[in-house]
Structure 1
Amino acid sequence: MYKYLQSKEQEMLVMLERLVNKDSGSHYKKGVDAVGKLLSSEYKLLNFTVNSIEQREVGNHLLIRHKEAKAPKIIILGHLDTVFKEGTVKDRPFMIRGSRAYGPGVIDMKGSHVTLLYALKALIRNGDIEAVKNVHIVFNSDEEIGSTTSNVLIENLALGKQYALVLEPARPDGSLVSARRGGGCYELRVYGKAAHAGIAPEKGISAIEEISHKIIKFQKLNQLQKGINVNVGIVRGGESANVICPYAEAVIDIRIDKIEQGQLVEDEVRKICSKADVPGAILELEGGINRSPMVKNEGTIQLLNQIQEVCEELGLNINDVSTGGNSDASFTSNVGVPTVDGLGPIGGNAHSEEEYLEIPSLVERALLLANVIKKLSA
C-alpha cells in the first residue's frame, strides 16, 4: 500500500487544495455543505452510501458506509467545519511553502479527510474489501462549536462498536491522543438600564458592574490542582464612557479532568447566576458542560497496543499523550467504546493564520490508518 499511496501524494495535495479553498466555518452552512458534497461524491465513487442528516442552522451531518457493509465494528469520526469565517480563503488561500501546506483548516481537519479517503482507496486497491466494509464514518458539521446538534447522533451510532478512531490532527511530534479533558461553554447575558453617567447616574443599572461581580465569582471556581479550570475568555458591553451600560455579555470556558466534576461546576455556575448582585439587573445564562473527559482506560490501552503493533510493522515510532483540548472522541469514550484520537496528519498552529500541515505526513498517516483499519478488522 505504501507504493500506491506514495504515487498518489500529488493527487492528495490537489484534493487538499480543493477542500481548503472552500470556506467552511461552523456558522457558514453553505460552505460546510459544499465541503460535504465534495467528499460525498468521492465516497460514492468508491461504492459507499452517503446519508445526509439535514440541519437548519449548521451544515448537514454525513453518515458514510460501504454499500455492502452489514454491521461495521469501527466508527470513524471527522468534522466538516473550521473556525474560520466566510471570506478567509480569499485572503489566504491554500499554499505550499517548502514541505508544509498552509491555509484555513488545512490541519484541522481537511488534511484528515484526505488521509482517510486515500487510506480507503489503498485498502480497496489492495483487495482488503472486508476491512473497508467494517467502517462506519461520521462527518459532523459543528465540532468547532461544541457538536450541539451531533453529539447524541455520534453516541447512538457508537453503541455496539468495538473501536472508535478519531481524525483530529496528530500532535506536532506525531503523537496520538489517548486522553482529553472534558468541558463546556456558557454565555451570560446581563440586561441593565441606560442612563447618563453625569446627569442622572442614579437612574441607571450597570450591566458592566453586574457582570464584573459574576466574573470574580467564576474565577474563584478554579481548582487547578484538581483539574477544574474556569476561564472568562470574552467580555463585551457598553455604549459610551458617559452612559451607564445597559447590556453586557461574557463567555465562560470550562475544563474538567473527571466526569463527576461536570455536575459540580454546572451547579456552581447556575447558583452564581441565579441572583443579581446589582439590584434590577436581569441575567440570562445559556450553555453547559457538553463533553465528558475522554479517559485512558483499559479498552483504550488495548486499542493503543494494537495501533503500536502496526506502527512497529511500518517502522514508525509514535507515542500517545493526554491533552486539554476537546474533541468528539469524548462522546465515543463516554459510551464505553475504546477510543484513540489524533490519527490525522501531522501539523500545528491550528485555528491561527499560521496553521500548517507537514506534507510528508499525508502518505505516512494514510498508510497508518489503512493498516490500523485492516488489523482491527482481521
Structure 2
Amino acid sequence: MLKEAIYAKEQEMLQLLERMVNQDSGSKYKKGVDAIGHMLRQKYEKLGFIVDVVNEVEVGNHLIIRHKETVRPRIVIVGHMDTVFPVGTAQDRPFTIKGSRAYGPGVIDMKASQVALFTALSTLVELGDKESYTNVHIILNSDEEIGSHRSKIVIENVALGKDYALILEPARDNGALVSARRGGGTYILRVYGKAAHSGIAPQDGISAIEEISYKIIELQKLNSQQEGMNVNVGLIRGGEAANVVSPYAEASIDVRITRPEQGAEIDKAIRKICSKPHIKGTNIELVGGINRYPVVKNEKTLDLLTHIQEVGAEIGVPIQDVATGGGSDASFTSSVHVATIDGLGPVGGGAHSVDEYLELPTFTERTYLLAKVIQRLSQVRLHPDLEYTI
C-alpha cells in the first residue's frame, strides 16, 4: 500500500520539483532561499506539522519541523534548501527532462531530496501511520553549501539525544549511501607588509608576499597522507603591481582530517606556524578553524546501516555504503553521538555543475526507501550496549 501510494504521486512530485528548481536559492540569495522555505512551510503545515522558523539576517531562515502530535521523536532528518548557484541560473537553465534524467540547478543537491522527504511523510500521514510520522524531527537549513556556520548549532541542538540521524544528501552515482565522512575546516591567512616602489626605494618596503611564501611552505609540510591529514593552500592573492613591494597578501587554507582528535592537532600546528612572522615588520592575522568533525563508522552506525540495508533488501533496492572525503551536515549529528547515515536522497550526479542531474527512476524508488526506513526505525531501538566513540 505504501509503495503504490508513493508511486502514484510521481507526477505530483515532478511538478513540485520543477517549481523548486526554477526558484533560485543560492546560499547568499536570502530572498530565494526563504521562498523555498515558505513553499515547504505551507505544505508541511497543511499536513499538521508545526514549523518553527529560525530567523537569519544574511542567509535564509532555517526551519525546524515536527508533527503537532509528536512527543519524543527519535529520528532527526537533515536537509538543506540552499544551492551553489547565483541568481539568474534558474532562468538560464530551467528544469528540464531528457530521457530518464531531470536537469536544473540544485535538482539533485538537494531539491529532489526535499521533495522525497515531503512525499514520504505526506504519504505516511495519509495512511494514518502515526507511529512513523510523529517520530521525526526535521531540520531544513539554508547555509550548508557555505559551511553551515549559522545552522550548525541548530542542527546539534535538535539532534542531541536522538537515536538516529538521516541526512538527505544525494546517494552516490552508483546508489551507495555514505557511512563515513572526513572532517575539516577552512582558514584565511592575512599578511600585512609595507608598500614601496621596487625600483626607487625597495629598502623602504616590507613584502607581504615574501612573508606569506614562507608560511605556505610550512603549511604544506603539515600534509600526512599516511595519517589522513591534508592541508591545502588552494588560493593566494596579494600585491598591487609588479613594481611595488606588496603591502598585503592572503591565502585560503583547506584542511581535511580522518579522525576527530586530529582536529585539535592540526589546528594547533597551523596556529603555531602563523603565530609569528619570518620577516620583521610584517603582521599576521589568521581566522577560521575546524568546522566539521569526521562522521565515524562505528558500531551504532553499522547497526543503523544494517536496518537500512534490510529495508532495501525487502523492497529490492540493494544498499552499499562508502566513505567520502567531502563534508556535510552529517558531521554535526555525528559529533553529538547520534548514529548517522548520509546519502539518503535520490541518485544523480554533476552536482554544482551545469550538468547536474537526477536519475528519474530513483526518484520514487528512494522516496519509498526513505518512508520504509522511517517506519522501520520507528519500531526498533539501537542496542543499549553499543559504544559510540568520536
Partner residue in 1 for 2:351: 350
Corresponding residue for residue 248 of structure 1: 249
Task: Name the amino acid aligned to 1:139.
Answer: L
Kindly provide the amino acid, as one letter, of the partner of residue 171 in structure 1: R
| TM-score normalised according to structure 1 size | 0.97
- Give the match for residue 333 of structure 1: 334
Query: Which residue of the partner structure matches residue 385 of structure 2?
Result: none
1:224-282: CA deviation from partner (whole Å, max 9, x where unpaired): 11100111112122322222222221111111010110001000111111111222222
How far off is 1:132 after superposition?
A: 0.4
Q: Does 1:54 align with 2:55?
A: yes
Q: Which residue type is aligned with residue 152 of structure 1?
A: I
Residue 23 of structure 1 corresponds to 24
The one-letter amino acid paired with 1:4 is: A
**1:89-168 pair list within 5 angstroms:** 89-168=90-169
* Cα displacement (A) at 1:322: 0.6
Match of 2:387 in 1: none
Match of 2:318 in 1: 317
Distance between the aligned counterparts of 2:211 and 2:89, measured in 1? Answer: 36
Provide the residue aligned with 1:276 in structure 2.
277
Question: Cα deviation per residue 1:279-310 (whole Å; 9 max; x = unaligned)?
Answer: 22222111101111100111111111111111
| Aligned counterpart, 2:64 | 63
Compare 168-177 and 237-246 and name the one that shifted more.
237-246
Q: How far apart, CA to CA, are the structure 2 residues paired with 1:274 and 1:68?
A: 54
The Cα of 1:91 is off from its aligned counterpart by 2.7
Which is worse superposed, 11-20 or 199-208? 199-208
Deviation beyond 6 Å, 4+ runs, structure 1? none
Question: Kindly, what percent of the aligned residue pairs are identical?
Answer: 63
TM-score (norm. length: structure 2): 0.94
Q: Provide the C-alpha distance between the structure 2 equivalents of 1:236 and 1:93, rounded to a whole number of angstroms.
A: 35
29-38 or 190-199, which deviates more: 190-199
Distance 1:207 1:18 in 2: 49
Q: Deviations over 1:190-236 (max 9, x none)?
A: 22222222222222222222222111111110001110011111212
Counterparts in 2 of 1:202 and 1:96: CA distance versus 1, 3 Å? farther
> What whole-Å deviation, never above 9, does each CA across 1:160-188 have from its counterpart, x for those lacking one?
21111110110000101101111111111
Inter-partner Cα distance in structure 2 for 1:318 and 1:16: 25
SS at structure 1 position matched to 2:187 = strand
- The letter of the residue matching 1:92 is R
Q: Could you tell me which amino acid in structure 1 is paired with residue 347 of structure 2? A: I
Aligned-partner Cα distance in 2 for 1:141–1:3: 32
Give per-residue Cα distances to partners, 1:141-166, cap 9 Å, x unaligned: 11112211121221121122111111
Asked if 1:197 corresponds to 2:184, the answer is no
Displacement, 1:10? 1.8
SS in 1 for 2:108: helix
Aligned partner of residue 244 in structure 2, secondary structure: coil
Question: What is the CA–CA distance in structure 2 between the aligned matches of 1:234 and 1:98, rounded to whole Å?
Answer: 39
Report the counterpart of residue 386 of structure 2 in structure 1: none
Equivalent in the alignment of 2:81:
80
**Matches for 1:180-195 after TM superposition, within 5 Å:** 180-195=181-196
5+ residue gaps, structure 1: none
Q: How do residues 225-304 of structure 1 correspond to structure 2 at under 5 angstroms?
A: 225-304=226-305
The residue identity in structure 1 corresponding to 2:54 is I
The answer for the alignment partner of 2:384 in structure 1 is none
Tell which deviates more after alignment, 252-261 or 201-210: 201-210
Residues in 2 aligned to 1:333 and 1:32: alpha-carbon distance in whole angstroms: 26
| In 2, Cα distance between equivalents of 1:270 and 1:83 | 30
Name the counterpart of 1:3: 4
Q: Which amino acid aligns with 1:212?
A: S
Give the Cα–Cα distance (whole angstroms) in 2 for the partners of residues 253 and 233 of structure 1: 7
Q: Which moved more, 1:183-192 or 1:167-176?
A: 183-192
Partner of 1:308: 309
Residue 130 of structure 1: how far off its partner (Å): 2.1
SS in 1 for 2:256: strand
Q: Secondary structure at the match of 2:240?
A: coil
Instruction: Give the count of matched residue pairs.
Output: 378
Superposed, which structure 2 residues align to 1:33-44 within 5 Å? 33-44=34-45
Q: Distance in 1 between matches of 2:248 and 2:22?
A: 38
Q: Work out the CA distance in 1 between the residues paired with 2:118 and 2:3.
A: 15
